[in-house]
Copies of this chain bind each other. A is one copy, B any other.
Amino acid sequence: VQVPPGGFLDALMAEVGDWMRDGETKVLMCGMVGARNGWKEAPYVAVSATFDQVVAGVIRVEAKSLDSRIVPGLIGADDGGVPEVMRGEETEIFGLKSEGGEGELQGDTQLCLPGTHTKWVRIKSGKIAAFSTSMTGDLYKAIREGTILRTCTQQQEPADGDAFLRGVARSKQEGELAHHLFGVRTLVLTGKMQESSASSYLSGLLIGHEAKARARAGERVHLVGDSTLCSLYATALHEFDVSSSVEPAGAALRGLVRIAGSLAW
């Protein structure tokens, strides 16, 4: 949802107004609504961060008769000292069902939340210890819209599993991403790949390059997010000898409910 300046309350009511007919007044939000250019900035909580620290960072926003609050995002840095930020994924993480039960983060776990900006998250001793972002989904979209591959990658459905695997296999070969990308065009141009397979191959290349940089053979990764996308990541990770599990749908909702239950309303 794209919201005009000053239009956040209207946008909120358009989304959830129907749910509030019984007089409910409590609203808890997460994600970009708490960004600097969102409704109201909810300052980042620094990692490593516990559930209680995130709950303590929840802010209130003015919204007439509603008691509206926003979950803060997290800030960290990768190994090279470059800042890392997330908004929304922290709530999904606190809603994990299959990791340790009852929403408690336990043990040391590697999470991956695929999407426009895929997050790789390290859980240590019940804390969100560190995380790192890959713009893979954003790149996929921009490449299909704005490069020479535009013409040959228009068709996205039906997905072609073999072409995806071929792209992942290609990502294992020598050469940088920008080189492998040009191959999408030449394979189609020379008749070595059907144009209808090019989008899936491109997806395999991009996720393959991400997995190549992230995968530690023998490790296990817990995937959280859209089931189709999680399945693609699971397939790519498998090619790098990394096993994976997939979180049941609804982590963000479970996280919001859990955070809401810990707030004094």
Contacts and interface: CB of A to CB of B under 8 A. Distances in A.
Question: Most chain-B Cβ atoms within 10 A of its Cβ — which of A80, A139, A178?
Answer: A178
B133 A179 contact: yes
Nearest to A208: B176
A176 B85 contact: no
A56 interface: no
A80 B170 contact: yes
A133 B180 CA distance: 9
A107 interface: no
A103 B142 CA distance: 40
Interface stretch (A16-24, A186-194, A221-229, A235-243): A186-194
A244 interface: no
Contacts of A209: 176-178
A136 interface: yes
* SS of A interface (majority): helix
Given A135-B147, A145-B142, A146-B141, A178 B83 contact: no
Interface residues of A, number: 48
A83 B190 contact: yes
B148 A117 contact: yes
Given A78-B175, A136-B178, A176-B177, 15 more contacts: A79-B173, A79-B175, A80-B175, A80-B183, A83-B187, A83-B192, A85-B190, A117-B148, A117-B182, A132-B175, A135-B178, A142-B143, A142-B145, A175-B213, A177-B178
